[in-house]
Every structure is written in C-alpha cells, then in structure tokens.
C-alpha cells in the first residue's frame, strides 16, 4: 500500500507506486542506457558479418531481453547488498529496499530469477554471449558490490568492468569471434566510466563520506580527482583510430567529442567552483556516450 509520504528519521519521502518502486529496484535508467550500447554491439556485428537485420530478429530479441533481465537482476541484488548504506545517501534513501516497500526476500527472488532467466535467453544466441553475461553479473554483484565498493578507492575502476560488458554481449550474440571493433566498444565503455562517475562522486562527495564509501574525491580530494578525470579522458583519444572501419566521418566525430571533453576537463584547473565543473563534466559524459553510440549505427546505415 502506498501512502502520501513515508517518514524515515527526520525526512519524508514522496509518494510512490508499486511500478515506481519496481523500476527503482531494477534501476530502470541503467537498464535503458545499457540497451543503447547492447544494440550498437548487435547492429555492428550484423553489419560487419554481412547479415540482414530482419533475418536476425530472433537473436536481437533474445539478446535485448536477456541483457535487460541480467542487468535488472544484478541491480536488484546490488540494492539488497547496499541496504545498510543507502539510507545514508540522499540519492538512494528512497529505494524500496530502504523504505521497506519491497521485502528483502522478494528482492532476492527478483534478482536471482531475472539473472537466471536472462542468462538462459543469452545462451539461446551463442555460448560466448551467455558466458560474457555471467562474467558481467559476477563482476558487478560480487567483485564490485560485495568486495571493492566499500574497501578500495579503485572501486570505480573495478566496477567499470561490468559496465563495459554490454556491447560485448551484443556483438557476441551475433559473432562469437569478437572483432577488434567489439573490443574497442568495450574499451570506450571501460574508459568512459571513471571520469563519468568521478564527476558524480565530486557532486555527492559528502554523501559518500557519510556512507563510508572510499570514492576518489573522499579519499584523495578534488584536486587529485580532477587530475584523474583528465587522464582518463585523455586515454580515449586513440580509440577512434582503431575503428576506421566505421568510416572517416565517425573517426572525425569521435575525435571532436574526445577533444571537447578534454578541453572541458582542462578548464577544471582554472574554475573556482569545482562542483559546477563536475556538473558540466557529468552532463557532457552522458551526451558524449549517447551521441557516440547512436552515431555508430547511423554511419553504418547511410
């Protein structure tokens, strides 16, 4: 049953519905954003192998459904694992595992069921896609959520492994051979995540500090974090030149996006308002990823 507000301590949480609580549990925003990278991997594998999209609709369906389920299931288990620290952070205190809207047994059941069913769908495509999916689940739930997140300042880098897996799943579902472009998709996602999440961590620094999570800004400060962000963005510069098979237009666009992000990053050394700079970097990172992956599909269509 929903109520007008749910009181926790001295704060009140807004009214929610069963659907909103379910979407919060499975982190629907993360599921949706990953679908873009998964589809791009699928699409490029189809194009590079000279296949017709319509002839691969079953594979596309199994891959998107399977990937969505394992991501949603992993997110549910992450919420279960973090149920003790989520109440300490503003952006997570409204999760149903904190408010009690969804019981812990149900959270575990949903998480495990989604992962099992999703993995089964992935194995309907190729064995490689299924294995990569399981690696992604293990690295996120066990290696990141249960081990590194609360212990090591490198937790963001460790978590980037699972975040980089989705386009590989998409490609492997069509072509288990994994062309060099597939690995470049993995690298883009892996390298993109530290500057993206470091910028977020700067904005939420005090929340992470209160929760005892050793994020980079908490442990080493803003100055070191800004330096790390710029270095990670710098590491993206060579990637487009390993993807020349996507065409010159893509290489130019990707390079311009990389340079734009780098320039914005360097301005951080001159700006007095670190949080404002972090907000700009965070927003740019979101637009960067969307434009880049959508462009890969468009440039292989035209």
252 in the same domain as 226: yes
Q: What is the CATH number of the domain that holds 31?
A: 1.10.357.140
Where does a domain end: 178, 200, 218? 178
51 in the same domain as 148: yes
250 in the same domain as 159: no
DSSP H helices in the chain:
18-26, 28-48, 57-81, 96-99, 104-123, 127-138, 155-164, 166-174, 180-203, 205-211, 216-234, 248-266, 274-299
Q: What are the tens digits of pLDDT across the range 228-245?
A: 999 999 999 999 999 999
Closest alpha carbon to 94 in 156, 5, 34, 180: 5
198 in the same domain as 166: no
Inside any domain, residue 188: yes
| pLDDT on residue 12 | 57
200 in the same domain as 90: no
Number of domains the chain is built from:
2
53 in the same domain as 172: yes
Q: The pTM is what?
A: 0.91
Where does a domain end: 125, 147, 178? 178
Inside any domain, residue 258: yes
Question: Is residue 155 predicted with pLDDT exceeding 60?
Answer: yes
173 in the same domain as 31: yes
213 in the same domain as 285: yes
Q: What are the tens digits of pLDDT across the range 269-291?
A: 788 899 999 999 999 999 999 99
CB neighbourhood size of 267 (10 A): 12
Q: What is the CATH number of the domain that holds 291?
A: 1.20.120
143 in the same domain as 91: yes
56 in the same domain as 29: yes
**Segment among 6-10, 16-20, 52-56, 84-88 with least mean pLDDT:** 6-10
Inside any domain, residue 200: yes
Compute the distance between CA of residue 30 and CA of residue 289 in angstroms, rounded to an integer: 13
157 in the same domain as 25: yes
Inside any domain, residue 1: no
Q: How confident is the model at residue 1 (pLDDT cuts 50, 70, 90)?
A: very low
Where does a domain end: 125, 155, 178? 178
- Average pLDDT rounded to a whole number, residues 89-117: 91
Domain with 301, as residue range(s), is 180-302
| pLDDT on residue 16 | 77
185 in the same domain as 154: no
Compute the distance between CA of residue 114 and CA of residue 105 in angstroms, rounded to an integer: 14
Q: What are the tens digits of pLDDT across the range 23-43?
A: 999 999 999 999 999 999 999
């Amino acid at each position: 049953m929903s109520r007008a507000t749910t009181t926790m301590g001295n704060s009140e949480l807004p009214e929610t519905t069963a659907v909103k609580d379910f979407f919060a549990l499975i982190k629907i925003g993360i599921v949706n954003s990953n679908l873009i990278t998964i589809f791009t991997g699928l699409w490029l594998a189809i194009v590079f192998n000279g296949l017709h999209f319509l002839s691969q609709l079953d594979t596309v369906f199994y891959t998107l459904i399977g990937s969505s389920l394992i991501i949603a299931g992993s997110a549910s288990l992450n919420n279960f694992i973090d149920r003790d620290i989520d109440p300490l952070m503003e952006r997570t205190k409204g999760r149903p595992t904190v408010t009690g809207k969804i019981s812990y047994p149900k959270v575990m059941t949903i998480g495990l069921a989604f992962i099992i069913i999703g993995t089964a769908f992935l194995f309907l495509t190729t064995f490689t896609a299924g294995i990569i999916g399981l690696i992604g689940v293990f690295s996120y739930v066990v290696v990141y959520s249960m081990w590194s997140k609360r212990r090591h300042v490198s937790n963001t880098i460790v978590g980037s492994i699972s975040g980089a897996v989705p386009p590989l799943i998409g490609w492997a579902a069509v072509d288990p051979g994994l062309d060099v472009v597939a690995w470049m998709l993995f690298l883009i996602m892996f390298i993109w995540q530290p500057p993206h999440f470091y910028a977020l961590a700067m904005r939420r620094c005090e929340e992470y500090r209160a929760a005892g999570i050793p994020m980079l800004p908490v442990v080493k400060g803003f100055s070191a974090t800004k330096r790390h962000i710029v270095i990670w963005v710098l590491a993206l510069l060579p990637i487009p030149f390993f993807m020349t098979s996507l065409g010159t237009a893509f290489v130019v666009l990707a390079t311009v996006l990389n340079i734009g992000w780098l320039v914005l990053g360097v301005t951080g050394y001159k700006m007095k308002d670190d949080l404002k700079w972090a907000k700009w970097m965070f927003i740019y990172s979101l637009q960067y990823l969307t434009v880049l992956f959508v462009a890969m599909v468009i440039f292989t269509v035209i």
